[in-house]
């Protein structure tokens, strides 16, 4: 005999249950509820606590703010209509210890559904009159034959997300049917649900079995049972993710053949020794992790993350050196021309002595045909570009390494084009300066190996952060700070969230701020930059800023990524409370890149202060002023805004976790690793993977398309 599995139950449609006919089943299918398994995993959004069951004489003033359930009989039913035509239905209910007057206001027709003498359960917040009479107003009431039949009262009552035409009560009744069926022996099926985790693991990690956890999350006897059930199901979801990414990595390594690298470790060490500065320990560790990847017989897939200014580019240069010295091409794709030019300049200073050839391919490249030909002929070298690198006519003949900087700026299809121009898959290095919370790294980048540079180069000065209100006195302080930096021949960024004024918004608009600064600083060159400008105009303004021809640049968030201006020493962020925490940190990182002491002003919208903005806005600003660690800030940002569709970005289309919450479940995420690592039986892992494919199908669809 065997137990029913999720796979078995997924083949049983919901219309086989009593009370779920064609009409209701059709409505359920609209919400992706087809099978028994789907229903079991349709978890409640909350529970209403009606677990307090008392005799009428036990109800006291201590109960008036709590839900109290009474099991009693209906003694009398009456209906009264007031002069204002308000209908009031009263049931007098007794349990032999006392009497309750239960009243319903409005046309609810309670009197047609309940009769004198019937046994009922009634739940609500009791009112105790001066006379001592207990009264309920618009309580929940249900009649029953057996206490097990109670569906609305007497326990923790699950409440589900609204479905058109389907009530939570209907869902509860259907689930109770399911649990009754599952708990019953039938032919060659024994009671219960097959558990993919063996008993020894359940015992060692103090986990509920599958059936008990499902019952406990839908119909817990108490809060402790609910939490124990949720813990088990959340760990299951994290284990699904782990087995998915383990499978993807294994398949990738089996199916993909990598390049053979000729470069030796002593050559790499010699290259590092010739760099114009010494690497930090973190940079060295990252560089050799990548170098070890390159020597594998399958292609590298690695994410390199680190703060702005942590030295990701110099680490990437070691991979570039190793690849080109082995006779292959390297493509580095960045989102803007300015960022491409910065990479070109930086890498030239790193790679200059090695004799490696570099080519810049952007919309303004003049020697395009020559570079195109070198790409097609397979000439070893570094090719840096924007989207130009993935145009149809660009065909790399000998691409050994693809580097994608600020990968979130590119879509899945764009990244795919860069690595699928030939039969052999190149090594892939993805770089980002946007810190990824450790709690989300598994969910988003589980199929990549992750390298983190967590150490800034020595000598870099800390950026001083200031929080200014939007009141008149603080507005003047902002201009005073600007004047201080201008007097030192420094440049200034002023960033605003919107381009133009909206009737429904009090946010500082870039055009208004531009006018304000132009009038205030007449002796200086003030320019405006925003997303509606043509790419050519934006690039030209950025280049002028780099050359020092602009003193104050008023901009929208288009400067968030990719501008490296050592002479810029002041960042002013207008309406700072409206920006995300990671975005604020990225913007702050646009200054402090030279020898001058830099500052960042977080300026609240005019006429507002820290006490009048939203709680979330206040939390973000308090955190950004206090902390300069991007990884800690990313954790706080996740806590403030919620994980949202952490596993489901618009780019990937992946499913959300249903139970696990990445804001609060880091301990469970860590625990899932120990549990998963303790599973040595490949048959068990295979069963877990089969369930994971059922519950997270889009992970596999996305992998096959990328």
Rounded Cα gap, residues 542 and 73, in angstroms = 80
Residue 617, token pair as written in the block? 């806005």
Provide the CB-side half-sphere exposure for 47 (13 A, CA). 22
Rounded Cα gap, residues 615 and 623, in angstroms = 12
What distance lies between CA 470 and its chain's CA centroid?
A: 31
> DSSP string spanning 608-631?
--TTTS-HHHHHHHHHHHH---HH
Rounded Cα gap, residues 141 and 475, in angstroms = 60
Rounded Cα gap, residues 109 and 77, in angstroms = 11
DSSP H helices in 555-652: 581-588, 615-626, 630-641
Among 386, 388, 382, which Cα is nearest to 401's? 382
CA geometry: angle 114, 118, 120, nearest 5 deg: 80
For tokens 């060659």, the residue is: 188
> DSSP string spanning 286-297?
HHHHHHHHHTSS
Reported as type and span, the H/E element at residue 230 is helix 223-255
Do the strands 134-137 and 189-193 form a parallel or antiparallel pair, or are they unpaired?
A: unpaired
Rounded Cα gap, residues 432 and 427, in angstroms = 17
Collapse the DSSP code of 450 into the 3-class scheme (helix H, G, I; strand E, B; otherwise coil) and give the result: strand
DSSP state of 35: B
User: In the β-sheet with 526-529, what is the strand arrangement from edge to edge?
Assistant: 464-468, 599-603, 568-574, 491-495, 552-555, 526-529
**CA distance readout (Å), 136 to 52, 120, 496:** 15, 14, 55
Residue 248, token pair as written in the block? 């993807």
Rounded Cα gap, residues 457 and 281, in angstroms = 10
Residue 99, token pair as written in the block? 């009497």
Provide the pLDDT for residue 608.
Answer: 92
Give the residues across from 89 on adjacent strands.
79, 104
Rounded Cα gap, residues 555 and 511, in angstroms = 9
Burial class (CB in 10 A: 0-12, 13-18, 19+), 540: middle
Report yes or no: 305 and 452 within 8 Å, Cβ to Cβ. yes
Burial class (CB in 10 A: 0-12, 13-18, 19+), 85: exposed
Rounded Cα gap, residues 390 and 552, in angstroms = 35
Report yes or no: 290 and 401 within 8 Å, Cβ to Cβ. no
Write out residues in the chain with pLDDT < 70, as ranges. 1, 390-392, 406-424, 435-447, 459, 498-508, 558-563, 638, 641-656, 662-663, 699-706
CA geometry: angle 395, 401, 403, nearest 5 deg: 95
Backbone φ and ψ for 201, nearest 5 degrees, come out as -70, -40
**Number of Cβ atoms within 10 Å of the Cβ of 24:** 18
Strands, DSSP E only, in 125-165?
A: 127-128, 134-137, 140-143, 156-159
Provide the pLDDT for residue 688.
Answer: 94
Provide the pLDDT for residue 35.
Answer: 93
pTM over 0.75? The answer is no
Provide the CB-side half-sphere exposure for 195 (13 A, CA). 19
Contacts of 85 (CB under 8 A, 6+ apart): none
Provide the pLDDT for residue 549.
Answer: 95
Report yes or no: 475 and 611 within 8 Å, Cβ to Cβ. no
Provide the pLDDT for residue 654.
Answer: 40
Residue 665, token pair as written in the block? 């479940």
Rounded Cα gap, residues 201 and 195, in angstroms = 11
For tokens 């977080």, the residue is: 602
Contacts of 514 (CB under 8 A, 6+ apart): 526, 528, 554
**Number of Cβ atoms within 10 Å of the Cβ of 184:** 10
Dump pLDDT digits (tens) for 600-652: 999 999 899 999 998 989 999 999 999 887 777 877 776 776 544 333 333 33
Among 588, 260, 246, 299, which Cα is nearest to 426's? 299
Reported as type and span, the H/E element at residue 571 is strand 568-574
Do the strands 156-159 and 46-49 form a parallel or antiparallel pair, or are they unpaired?
A: antiparallel
Provide the pLDDT for residue 167.
Answer: 87
CA geometry: angle 374, 376, 382, nearest 5 deg: 50
Among 248, 374, 257, which Cα is nearest to 698's? 248
User: In the β-sheet with 381-385, what is the strand arrangement from edge to edge?
Assistant: 358-361, 381-385, 329-333, 399-405, 427-432, 301-306, 449-453
Dump pLDDT digits (tens) for 254-287: 777 777 788 888 998 999 998 888 899 999 999 9
Provide the pLDDT for residue 499.
Answer: 56
Rounded Cα gap, residues 111 and 132, in angstroms = 25
Helix, strand, coil in percent for the chain, rounding step 5: 40, 20, 40
């Amino acid at each position: 005999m065997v137990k029913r599995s999720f796979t078995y139950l997924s083949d049983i449609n919901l219309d086989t249950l009593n009370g779920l006919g064609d009409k209701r089943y059709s409505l359920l299918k609209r919400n992706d509820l087809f099978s028994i398994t789907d229903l079991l995993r349709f978890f409640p959004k909350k529970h209403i606590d009606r677990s307090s069951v008392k005799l009428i004489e036990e109800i006291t003033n201590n109960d008036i703010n709590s839900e109290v359930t009474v099991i009693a009989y209906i003694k009398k039913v009456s209906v009264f209509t007031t002069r204002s035509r308000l209908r009031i239905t009263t049931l007098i209910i007794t349990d032999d210890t006392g009497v309750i007057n239960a009243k319903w206001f409005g046309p609810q027709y309670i009197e047609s559904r309940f009769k004198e003498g019937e046994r009922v359960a009634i739940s609500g917040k009791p009112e105790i009159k001066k006379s001592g009479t207990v009264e309920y107003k618009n309580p929940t009431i249900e009649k029953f034959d057996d206490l097990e039949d109670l569906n609305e009262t007497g326990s923790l009552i699950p409440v589900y997300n609204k479905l058109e035409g389907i009530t939570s009560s209907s869902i509860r009744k259907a689930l109770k049917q399911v649990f009754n069926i599952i708990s019953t022996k039938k032919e060659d099926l024994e009671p219960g649900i097959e558990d993919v985790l063996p008993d020894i693991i359940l015992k060692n990690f103090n986990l509920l079995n599958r059936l008990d956890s499902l019952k406990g999350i839908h119909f817990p006897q108490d809060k402790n049972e609910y939490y124990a059930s949720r813990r088990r199901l959340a760990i299951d979801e994290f284990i699904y993710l782990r087995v998915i990414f383990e499978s993807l990595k294994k398949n990738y390594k089996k199916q993909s053949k990598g390049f053979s690298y000729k470069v030796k470790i002593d050559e790499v060490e010699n290259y590092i020794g010739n760099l114009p500065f010494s690497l930090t320990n973190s940079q060295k560790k990252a560089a050799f992790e990548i170098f070890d990847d390159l020597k594998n017989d399958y292609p590298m897939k690695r994410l390199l993350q680190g703060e702005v200014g942590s030295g990701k580019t110099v680490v990437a240069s070691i991979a570039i050196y190793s690849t080109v010295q082995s006779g292959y091409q390297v493509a580095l794709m960045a989102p803007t021309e300015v960022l491409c030019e910065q990479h070109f300049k930086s890498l030239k200073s790193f790679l200059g002595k090695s004799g490696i050839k570099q080519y810049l391919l952007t919309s303004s490249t003049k020697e395009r045909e020559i570079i195109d030909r070198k790409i097609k002929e397979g000439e070893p070298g570094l090719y840096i570009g924007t989207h130009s690198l993935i145009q149809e006519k660009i065909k790399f003949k000998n691409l050994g390494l693809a580097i994608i900087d600020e990968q979130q700026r590119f879509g899945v299809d764009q990244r795919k084009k860069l690595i699928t121009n030939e039969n052999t898959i190149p090594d892939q290095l993805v770089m980002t300066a946007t810190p990824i919370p450790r709690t989300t790294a598994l969910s988003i980048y589980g199929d990549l190996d992750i390298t983190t540079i967590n150490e800034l180069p020595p000598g870099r000065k800390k950026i001083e952060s200031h929080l200014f209100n939007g009141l008149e006195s603080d507005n003047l302080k902002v201009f005073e700070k600007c004047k201080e930096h201008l007097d030192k021949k420094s440049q200034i960024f002023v960033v605003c969230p919107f381009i133009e004024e909206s009737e429904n918004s009090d946010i500082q608009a870039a055009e208004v701020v531009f006018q304000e600064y132009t009038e205030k600083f007449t002796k200086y060159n003030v320019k405006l930059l925003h997303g509606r400008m043509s790419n050519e105009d934006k690039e030209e303004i950025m280049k002028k800023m780099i050359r020092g021809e602009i003193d104050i640049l008023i901009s929208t968030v288009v400067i968030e990524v990719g501008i490296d201006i050592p002479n810029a020493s002041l960042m002013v962020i207008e309406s700072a409370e409206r920006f995300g925490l990671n975005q604020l940190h990225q913007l702050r990182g646009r200054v402090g890149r030279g020898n001058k002491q830099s500052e960042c002003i977080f300026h609240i919208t005019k006429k507002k202060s820290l006490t009048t903005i939203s709680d979330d806005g206040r939390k973000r600003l308090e955190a950004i002023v206090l902390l300069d660690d991007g990884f800690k800030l990313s954790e706080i940002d996740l806590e403030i805004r919620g994980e949202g569709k952490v596993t489901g970005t618009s780019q990937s289309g992946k499913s959300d976790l249903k139970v696990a919450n990445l804001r609060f479940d880091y301990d469970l995420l860590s625990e899932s690793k120990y549990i998963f690592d303790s599973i040595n039986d490949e048959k068990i892992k295979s069963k877990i993977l089969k369930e994971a494919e059922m519950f997270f199908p889009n992970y596999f669809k996305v992998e096959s398309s990328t």
